[in-house]
Every structure is written in structure tokens, then in C-alpha cells.
Structure 1
């Protein structure tokens, strides 16, 4: 009798566990209600998906939006593809020059000329502090066309690198970098699943993304200690973030906002939306 009761309890607990797994979902009504209360000028573009690719919620998923620094993920990926082909060595050093320094985010612009950095250190800083000097160094080493060719090979058609960082003249001429939230989520999934470059290099990319220092957006309202691999982007006209959130069932979320007047408000909006997603999937 005791054995029967024990088996019954274990079976019931297993069924509860399965039910909880199946029932996890994003509260679409809550998100739509939140979006409806934003200023009409705000344009929010977002996609929330399971790590396997199940769509939980999408808003303006077909749109192409200015990428800001989120474009650094495809750059990182193409760098690792070249490492795989032995065309680039992550341990090789690069000597920093004043001529390649640019403004905006990052620390390399403040490091003395002549400093030697490994390609790995440059790649890490491109993500950690979103360093624009580091990014431009890598773009020149791997080539804009190579980044876009790799994206095309992966059937990613709307996400494109069209200029180096801090190139205001290119922006004036209409040459902007773009991403699509569905595509950037797919790219993060490929890295997570180790289906690009090599498994070891995918692990290194995830490790680099986990070290992103900007926590003002998706991580903003989430629990301290929660592991998040992500990359943010910020320009006067767009604020965005794409992340793998390591919940019990990891999921991918990308959120971009255009049309805001105050970037701090935009960051709060991204944080709030990420929290709503997290509350249903944690």
C-alpha cells in the first residue's frame, strides 16, 4: 500500500512539473496594455521566443530598425568564423594608434597610443563596454562585406552592417546599420545551439555576451544574479537590447524603441517589458 501511495504521489508531482513547463507563457494582454499606454510617438519593436524558437510574442516583427551597437553581434560572429578558418588568431596582438580612435562608448580611445592588445581583448571590449574603437578595428580586419555575406549565408536578409561606428557622414548619406528583431534572435539562437563557427568559439561568444556591462535595459528589473547574455545599443534615435535570459527554460528577447525624447524613459520601458516577459517564463 505504501509503495502504491508513493508511486501515486511521484506520478502526480511529475504531472504538475510537466504542466508547469507547458503552461509557461508571456502575458500578451499585459504587454499590449502596456504598449497602448505609451506615447504615440514611441515605436516599440520586439520579439520574445523560447530557446527552441517557439514564438511567445512579437510586435512589428517584420520591421527593420536602426541597430545601434547591437550590430556588434554579427561582427563578433564573423570574427569567430574567420578564427575557425585560421584567417585570424585571437591571441595575435594589435598595436593601438591614435588614428583609429573614435568617440562614443568604450575605453580604448583613452588608452595611450602604442598599447598592444590581443584580438580577443579587442573583441571582449567591443561587447563589454561597446567600444567603438575596438569595433572599427575589427571591422577593418574582417571587412564589412564579409559580415554581410555571412548574414546572407544564414538567410538573414534585413540585418546589415553598412558603416563603421561614429561615421556621421555615412548616416547623413543614408548608410545606416540595421537589424530585425526576429533575425537577431535567430542569430543568438545559432550561437547558443553552437551551430556557427565552432562549439568552443560559440562558448566564447556567449561568455563575452554575458559580460556586457550595460544593465540599463533588459536586465534593469530582473533579479540580481540572473545570468543574461546580451548586447545593447544606443543612439539618439534608438535604444535596444537583445538577450538570452537563463531562466529555468532559457528564452530570447529583443526590444528596440524609437521615437523617444528621453533615453532614460526608453530604458525603463525596455526594462518593464522584459520584466513582464520574465514574470511569465521564469
Structure 2
């Protein structure tokens, strides 16, 4: 992995702002780390441990993922997603609420699920996922904020979480498979997957690819994150890339280059 480490270090050495990056070969247990203990405002990356907490609560028998929850007028908040534009009374399954939270980064869906499971469940699941230095504090897009503190994460914690889900080391095997399947349907693909063959800015003809990625991004002014698990040529790599004090366009370019380097290592130039 030394070649990949050098390429990633070169990219980050020229990148503006502060970056925290962890890349792990989940089959061989080797990793690259840069700023892995840095604390970042989580943005929408917090939605992944919330998803895991929903599946944990279902596994505990609190509800079925096929149970339906109605949208209330007071649930609707702005930001990313589209549920805020829909009519109150809409009834979706819990699994559908989770899917919207992840693939569209829907903030209304996120808050509906937080109300369903509660902070205690989220905190407990984050501990189970090994997220020792990360913290869930509050719901999204509530103004004025109900709690002053931000949700925070570290690259190392997010890497532990992704590894646990991708390898089925947390909850049930079925729950892990479902969570990965949802993340593979991600519609925001302008970060890590953007420069992969057939990706949004790759330049090649879209079509069948030799890779899949289960990912979740998060962003706000000066911050651009993307995290996920890349599947290529039978290999699995977790990639965590968090940033602050960055311009969006430049940061997205860095994210695309990081994803491309990991892909090329996995498919062409990888070595033990």
C-alpha cells in the first residue's frame, strides 16, 4: 500500500484547508491515515450512524422496518431533500424514510427518524460502532437550534463505523447488507465517485462499471465531506475524507482524486 499512501499524501499536501482522511483495505487490514483524530462538524455524514441506530432499534423489537410513519406538517424542514415539499399525511415505511435520508440526504426524513428512536439510541449505537470521539447533539435545520452544540465526527471514528457495517461486525448480517444496499443508491455522487470510470466528470461513456460505492456526503460553507466503501475487483476499501476551510469546487476535486487513486490501486496497481 506504500504507493497509494504516497499518492494520497501528495494530493493532501497540495490541498487547501484542513483534511482528515482514512483509507483502509478492509480485506487486508492495512490503512492510510492523515489527520485521523481531527474533530469535524459532521454535516450530513451523521445520517449514517442514525441509519444504523434505526436498524438497531428495529433489531431490538421496537418496530418493524416495514411499519409506516405519517409526515406531519411540523416535521417539514428545508435544506437537502424533497419531503418538505410533500403533503402532510404522507405515510412511508421506516425503511423508505431511511432511504430518503441517505440517498437524497433528506433533512425532514432525518428528523422524523430521530424523533422515532431518540438520542439515547443514537448514542448507544455510535458507541457500538466504535465512534468514541464523535457526538450526536441535535436535529437538523431547526432554527433557532434546539441545542447549541454541533454534531461532530472524527475520520478514525467514521472509518471504524464503515468497516463494521461493510464487514457485518455490527447488528445482524441482514441489517448490514440492507444499509450498504441503501448507500449504494446514493444520488449525490459529485465527490469520491466523480472521477471513477463512468462517473460524473470522468469523460468516459456511462454504462456498466467494474466498481460500486456505498457512500454518504455532507457539506456546508467551508466544509465538504464524503465517506464510503468502494467495491472493485473483489476488493473493499473504506474511504473517509472530511474537510474544513475549503472552497466547494476545489474540495470536490480533491475528493474525486482521492476516490480515483483508491480505485486505480484496487484495480490496476495494487500490491500487498
Shared fold (TM-score, shorter chain, > 0.5):
yes
Whole-Å separation in 2 of the counterparts to 1:179 and 1:55: 22
Structure 2 gap segments, 5+ residues each = 199-208, 268-272
Which whole-Å CA distance do the structure 2 matches of 1:49 and 1:31 have between them? 12
Contact 2:138–2:147 under 8 Å retained in 1: no
Pick from 222, 231, 237: which aligns with 1:251? 237
What are the Cα deviations for residues 93-118 of structure 1, in whole angstroms up to 9, with x where unaligned? 11111211000000110111111111
Contact 2:128 2:170 in 1 (8 A): no
Following superposition, the deviation at residue 215 of structure 1 comes to 0.4
Partner of 1:120: 95
Which residue in 2 is equivalent to 1:185? 159
Q: Which moved more, 1:119-128 or 1:192-201?
A: 192-201
Q: 2:124 is paired with a residue of what secondary structure? A: helix
Change (3 A) 1:155 1:29: closer
Q: Deviation at 1:150?
A: 2.1
Structure 1 CA distance, aligned partners of 2:226 and 2:14?
21
TM-score, with structure 2 as normaliser: 0.88
Name the structure with the higher helix share. Answer: 1
Q: Contact 1:132 / 1:165 at 8 angstroms: preserved in 2?
A: yes
Q: Which residue matches 1:30?
A: 7
- Which of 54, 57, 81 pairs up with 2:56? 81
1:102 aligns with 2:87: no
Larger CA deviation: 222-231 vs 102-111: 222-231
Report the equivalent of 1:210: 184
Instruction: Indicate conservation of the 8 Å contact 1:104/1:166, yes or no.
Output: yes
Structure 1 gaps of 5+ residues are 1-23
- In the TM superposition, residue 179 of structure 1 has moved relative to its aligned partner by 1.2
Distance in 1 separating the partners of 2:183 and 2:58: 18
Alignment of 1:130-149 (within 5 A): 130-149=105-124
Q: Quote how far apart the aligned CAs of 1:34 are.
A: 2.4
Whichever of the two has the greater Rg, that structure is 1
Q: How does 1:9-88 map to 2 (within 5 A)?
A: 26-39=3-16, 42-52=17-27, 54-88=29-63
1:144 Cα deviation after fit = 1.5
- Say which of 193, 197, 203 aligns to 2:171: 197
Query: 1:265 — aligned with what?
Result: 250
Give the deviation of 1:155 after TM superposition.
Answer: 3.6
Alpha-carbon distance in 2 for matches of 1:166, 1:60: 28
Cα 1:179–1:74 change in 2 (3 A) is: same
User: 67, 81, 104: which one pairs with 1:129?
Assistant: 104
